Amino acid sequence: MSTEAIRVLITDDHPVFRQGLKGLLVALGVEVVAEAESGPEAVRLAAELQPDVVVMDLHMPGGNGIEATRTITRTSPRIGVLVLTMFRDDDSVFAAMRAGARGYLLKESGAEEIARAVRAVAAGEAIYGPEIARRVLAYFTDMPDPRQAAFPQLTEREREVLELIAQGRSNADIAAALFLSQKTVRNHVSNIFMKLHVADRAQAIVLAREAGLGGNA
């Protein structure tokens, strides 16, 4: 989509900021169809004018940008919401993503970065400022393995054994797969049963599979 074809609704409760952003976008050939100073006003104008992009602040009197974003993306899925805010905390970032925002920039972003984000969101792409992108990446990189989180009482080796138990493998198969003696495997199995409070292999398999183990059988 060319810059000239993009229609934008600016939502921010600070008139000076709105004027500055409007001047920047207009200078780039973007059509600013309206300005809103609250979430409810943005929802009303978005429904009425159907802009390509709504540039949305998050914290405004009379209704926050998260709720407005959620309403706009639900009722008018073709409209892209680009959050432009001073809030860089994880709660704000992920709340905006869950609400359906396609982009998230900080107000300190440069003119070129804002312009690029508006074009990207108008084209249906998702875009985040460098700092926000690092936060998102760090969040998903640091997420614990849900299989480990399910059984924190087990050692790494015991989890490996339980994974194979969940696949229906015998003690002999487990010993061969992990290069252990069958006696060592039996000890691990006994410890697993005790830590998981199960009486037998069948109960252990049920618990393990409910936690997502055994999927590589």
Q: 69-79: per-residue pLDDT in tens? A: 999 999 999 99
**Is the pTM of the predicted complex or chain greater than 0.75?**
no
pLDDT in the model for residue 134: 80
Q: For residue 144, what is the DSSP state?
A: P
Which pLDDT belongs to residue 137? 75
- Where do the H-state alpha helices sit in 36-170? 39-49, 65-75, 90-99, 111-122, 130-141, 146-150, 156-166
What's the rounded Cα separation, in Å, for the pair 118 and 133?
A: 16
Per-residue confidence (pLDDT) for residue 89, from 0 to 100: 83
> What pLDDT is stored for residue 210 in this prediction?
87
d(CA 108, CA 208): 48
Residue segments in the chain with a per-residue pLDDT below the cut of 70: 1-4, 139-149, 216-217
pLDDT given for residue 28 in this prediction:
87
pLDDT of residue 173: 94
Using the structure block, give the residue that is written with the tokens 């159907």: 50
Supply 57's token pair.
Answer: 């602040």
Q: Count the neighbouring beta carbons within 10 Å of the beta carbon of residue 116.
A: 15
Cα angle 46-49-54, degrees, rounded to a multiple of 5? 40
Contact predicate 151/197, CB 8 Å: no
How many other C-beta atoms are found inside a 10 Å radius of the C-beta of residue 52? 22
Please provide residue 85's backbone torsions phi and psi, each rounded to the nearest 5 degrees.
-145, 170
> Which pLDDT tens digit goes with each residue over 125-176?
988 887 787 877 776 666 555 555 678 888 889 989 999 999 999 999 999 9
Give me the pLDDT at residue 129, please: 82
Question: Cα(205)–Cα(215) distance, rounded to whole angstroms?
Answer: 12
